[in-house]
Amino acid sequence: MPDDKKADEKVDDKQTNDEQTGSTPANFGEWLKTQTTDVQKLYTDEVAGLKSALSSERQQRKDNEAALRDAAAKVEKGSEAERLLTEQADTLQGLEERAAFYDNAHTQGVTNLKLAWMAAQEIDAFDKRGNVNWEGLKTQFSELFTKTTIPSGDAGKGTKTAPAGDQKSINAFIRAEAGR
């Protein structure tokens, strides 16, 4: 019985939370701000763990790239082994650059990450350090940065609002097709 009471309290808390906001938040960040501190702490702890894992993965890639370049320097100049090691190091570096690009692209409002990556490569929007010239991309490829807004739905009775349009129901369509 105590478990049922806790479940009812959780439902009531969620309903109260939804009622307090009054409308659907525009994005996740706004929604998170309306949550209790416990929920916010759970979220930040989870994200911190994920960011830590991502950071260690990126560091491992950089270490692997450095090891490959070191090995390439130790083998005979102009050999097939040197070429292959250097090629692998360049591949790892490219993967890291693309991952960093994708990470930053989200904060810039890019709607199609892969297409934005190809566009950035096309116009060489990178400086010597690998930073992206976002303003140049926005100028030349503005359609990659437009956010599509999803109109609010109108399901009628399920949302406590009147259905939009001509007020026809599925029953009316079925009756019309049946000839009634």
Mean per-residue pLDDT, 124-139? 86
Name the residue ranges covered by the structural domains of the chain: 35-108, 110-153
Q: Taking Cα atoms as reference points, which of 63, 64, 85 lies closest to residue 76?
A: 85
Q: Taking Cα atoms as reference points, which of 109, 122, 175, 177 lies closest to residue 148?
A: 109
Task: State pLDDT tens for residues 84-105.
Answer: 888 888 888 888 888 888 888 8
Instruction: Please say whether the beta carbons of 54 and 27 come within 8 A.
Output: no
The whole-number pLDDT of residue 9 equals 54
The whole-number pLDDT of residue 36 equals 92
Task: State pLDDT tens for residues 63-83.
Answer: 888 888 888 787 888 888 888
Rounded to two decimals, what is the model's pTM?
A: 0.47
58 vs 95: CA distance, rounded Å: 10
